[in-house]
Structure 1
Amino acid sequence: MKITFTFILIIFTQILFAQRKLTPQWQSDTTLRSPESVWVDSKNKVLYVSNTVAFEPNTTAFISKLGMDGEFIKKDWVTGLNAVLGIGIHKNRLYAAEAFSKSIAVIDVDKASIIKRIPIDGAELLNDITVDAKGIVYVSDTRHGKIYRIENEIPTLYAENLKGANGLLAVGKDLYVLSDGALVKIDQDKKNTVISKGMEGGLDGVVQIKPNEFIVSGWQGLIYHVKSDGSNTVLLDTRDKKISAADIGYDNSSGILYVPTVRTNTVQAYKLD
């Protein structure tokens, strides 16, 4: 059989832009309290889940520790937090965004205790967190459309004019942010490039599954696949069931996507194919 270049190109294109799918694996029990963010520790086979409890000032929130099967290791792993949203880990430090107290709680992972807080002066609603390979922390201020950079525990304004800035992801020298229905890349020179746009559902979390390929969650209950060409498709829509999709986590080694549902108090796991 004669194989033409055009035929090879068609097959390659089909593989490159193949439709992804999500297959349900498990769901945790419903004793979480408005779970907002999942951080995946693949090395230690642990999930850390922020429990906002109530989205209002002076709320006593906590972080839970789960196994990769959704079973609790310790529900109230760290307590005494205030309306905690995004979380991120570097080495043995977990950083947690306290929405209304306008600070980042720094937690010693080994001791499961808060060791200090880093205030962000001028912030209004701290939301998502990402930490790069050097341990530099980035946090979004959703109400002001800003991103702060924290190095050596000193916060500075990194980017602004990003409407509704929420989900963050540090990849190499680039920072990805969800803003106004779009996935935007901010490079090391602080140049903004729109990677994908036109998404709805209150964009919340973003993870990278392959170079230039992402999964994005929309708070109301949408999961998007952002392809390498910038196009996006909906993989999951649970809005009619009133099941939210907040700040997702992803395990590259197993291909499992973890979705905190906020309103229904669970974490749901899906196999991404």
Structure 2
Amino acid sequence: MMKRLFSIGLGLSLSVMAFGQHQLTELWETKELPTPESVLYSAKNNLLYVSLIDGEGSTKDGKGGVAILNLDGSVKDQHWVTELNAPKGLALYQDLLYVADITAVVVVDVVTGNVVNQIEFPDAVFLNDVAIDDNGVVYVSDTRKGRVYQMRNNKASVYLENTPSVNGLKFLNGHLYALVGPELWKIDSNKKITTVAKGFELGGDGLEPVGNGNFLVTCWGGLVYYVKGDGSFEKLLDVRGEMNTADLGFHPQTNTVYIPTFNNNSVKAFKLN
């Protein structure tokens, strides 16, 4: 991977995006990140992991990787993990980072930064997001196959079919939440599906809980929604035609939202009010 320069605008923007009760105020932007797809906040390490596709999103070219940012947007390690393909969704369990990488999940030891495993998923086409339950069971969405996989003891199997354009996943309070096209689903341990919200203008991408049963949802084309537990939602950001809004991260203590802009090659931080 070629060396790149990073530039940061720290706390200088007064830009405020608001369409309803809540609003997003831009804080900083870290530029020249090669196609960032997902941001994950680590409470244990107090930093941000960022998946970098650095190429075409479905090509096994070895250009991808994972960078580490500090919470102020400065770059801690641009080349923390390299030689991945087109890494997307990220999830942490104990000291292991799980990375969706087209047809495989790559497992990284966050203490050493070493790749310790790479598990190919049967018949996978476009693995996109990762979620992990309290017992370390891994769930992975395949957007183009329209299915969710489950991985136990590093063995993957199909968990749920008929989930068209499924993308963002989160495990919360005993339930798997999934963005399935323009809808947010809640799935219990018996695979019973409840539609939490529907009617997003675009298919959902990133999903983050923000407390009280509420969520933030991004749509890759440039939309961010605040979704309430009762199924109602408000549009926080509409930047269609200006930038992408991919798989976001969230810092609950400060209500800071981290959005990878994908084709704009940056990560932006916003204050959620």
Deviation by residue 1:139-184 (Cα, 9 ceiling, x = unmatched): 0011111001111111121111011000001102100001120001
Whole-angstrom distance in 2 between the partners of 1:31 and 1:222? 22
Q: Please tell me the residue identity of whatever aligns with 2:64.
A: A
Select the structure that is richer in helix: 1
- Aligned-pair RMSD on alpha carbons? 1.1
Verify: 1:264 aligned to 2:264, yes or no: yes
TM superposition shift of 1:124 = 1.1
Structure 1 residue matching 2:241: 3-state secondary structure: helix
Whole-angstrom distance in 2 between the partners of 1:158 and 1:176? 14
Please name the residue that 2:33 is paired with. Answer: 32
Please name the residue that 1:118 is paired with. Answer: 119
Verify: 1:57 aligned to 2:59, yes or no: yes
Please name the residue that 2:77 is paired with. Answer: 74
Please name the residue that 2:46 is paired with. Answer: 45
Please name the residue that 1:6 is paired with. Answer: none
Please name the residue that 2:11 is paired with. Answer: none
TM superposition shift of 1:200 = 2.1
Q: Please tell me the residue identity of whatever aligns with 1:177.
A: A
Please name the residue that 2:90 is paired with. Answer: 87
Identical columns (%): 38
TM superposition shift of 1:45 = 1.4
TM-score by structure 2 length? 0.90
Please name the residue that 1:181 is paired with. Answer: 182
Whole-angstrom distance in 2 between the partners of 1:237 and 1:189? 36
The number of aligned residues is: 252
Whole-angstrom distance in 1 between the partners of 2:89 and 2:235? 23
Structure 1 residue matching 2:263: 3-state secondary structure: helix
Deviation by residue 1:214-268 (Cα, 9 ceiling, x = unmatched): 1100001100011122011110011132x00000111111110110000111111
Whole-angstrom distance in 1 between the partners of 2:175 and 2:201? 24
1:55-204 matches, cutoff 5 A: 55-59=57-61, 60-99=63-102, 102-204=103-205
Please name the residue that 2:255 is paired with. Answer: 255
Q: Please tell me the residue identity of whatever aligns with 2:60.
A: N
Unpaired runs of at least 5, structure 2? 1-19
TM superposition shift of 1:116 = 1.4
Q: Please tell me the residue identity of whatever aligns with 1:88.
A: A
Structure 1 residue matching 2:246: 3-state secondary structure: coil
Structure 2 residue matching 1:57: 3-state secondary structure: coil
Deviation by residue 1:79-128 (Cα, 9 ceiling, x = unmatched): 011111111111111111111xx111111111111111111011111111
Q: 4+ residue stretches of structure 1 with deviation over 6 A? A: none
TM-score by structure 1 length? 0.90
